[in-house]
Structure 1
Amino acid sequence: MEVPKEKIGQIIGPGGTIIREIIERSGAEIEVKDSRIVFHSKDKEATEKAYQMVSLIVNGPCEGRTYIGRVKRLLPFGAIVEIAPGVDGMVHISQLDHKRVKRVEEIVKIGDEVAVKVIGFDDEGRPLLSRKALLKK
């Protein structure tokens, strides 16, 4: 995979934290050579998962796409969900469920894996996420 040189640092992360997390979560080995990322794994699914995570870091999330993320933080007004290592978005409390949610903890807890859809971006370009958009009414 060809990657712009200025994005390599984002993929590696401080002290290699991001790339180690991608390797751990995907099960694939990753090699960085100049502006190329090479994925190694006997398991095609692991390679694809690593590729998707790196692609998300390089290109950013796409509006309308669905991602599986991990709840990182709970706030009185919503949850911060990491959709790829180093890529976080906000699920507002109103976007957690179709019914009224009084407390975020009623629906999600820190560490939960949750399917979310990108429904837009805030003024700083961070993804706005919805769990509700993926639920049946």
Structure 2
Amino acid sequence: YILGKMLETIPAPRPEIKEHAPRIITVKIPVDKIGALIGPGGKNIRALQEETGTKIDIEEDGTVYIASTDSAGAKIAQERIESLGENAVVGNIYTGKVVRIESFGAFVEILP
């Protein structure tokens, strides 16, 4: 009966959930990168949560849960977390952030 009423209202599930609907994204990172994600005293994870408006939980096996009501924030958090497993490769092009300028050059953050 309930399924029949639901099908009268909407014949098939929507292909995408609404922009501000709650969602949880699951990401797997190498166990040795958990410390880098958390940072000293939790600094990195708190900054990422604040910047993206997400709630991030990390399991001991490297499973990371990103909870958010904002799809854009969730996607940014997911991309940042997934980039932890990357290593810079000679010849690849990266977008970076200049974090400090010295007389001999600049320090650019390309991967977290």
Alignment equivalent of 1:53, drawn from 58, 77, 80: 80
Which residue does the alignment assign to 2:49? 23
Which residue does the alignment assign to 2:31? 5
The alignment's TM-score, normalised by the length of structure 1, stands at 0.53
The alignment's TM-score, normalised by the length of structure 2, stands at 0.63
Which residue does the alignment assign to 2:92? 64
- Secondary structure of the equivalent of 1:60? coil
Q: In proportion to residue count, which structure has more strand?
A: 1
Identity of aligned residues (%): 30
Higher relative contact order (CA 8 A, sep 6+): 2
Alignment of 1:52-131 (within 5 A): 52-61=79-88, 64-69=92-97, 71-83=98-110, 87=112
Q: In proportion to residue count, which structure has more helix?
A: 2
- What amino acid is aligned across from residue 30 of structure 2 in structure 1? P
**Corresponding position: 1:43 with 2:70:** yes
4+ runs deviating over 3 angstroms:
60-63
In structure 2, do the counterparts of structure 1 residues 61 and 7 end up closer, same or farther at CA, with 3 Å as the change threshold?
A: same
In structure 2, do the counterparts of structure 1 residues 61 and 19 end up closer, same or farther at CA, with 3 Å as the change threshold?
A: farther
Q: What is the count of residue pairs matched by the alignment?
A: 84
- What amino acid is aligned across from residue 57 of structure 1 in structure 2? L
Q: Deviations over 1:79-105 (max 9, x none)?
A: 212345xx3xxxxxxxxxxxxxxxxxx
* Alpha-carbon shift at residue 68 of structure 1 (Å): 5.0
Unaligned segments of structure 1, at least 5 residues: 88-137
In structure 2, do the counterparts of structure 1 residues 46 and 68 end up closer, same or farther at CA, with 3 Å as the change threshold?
A: farther
RMSD: 1.9
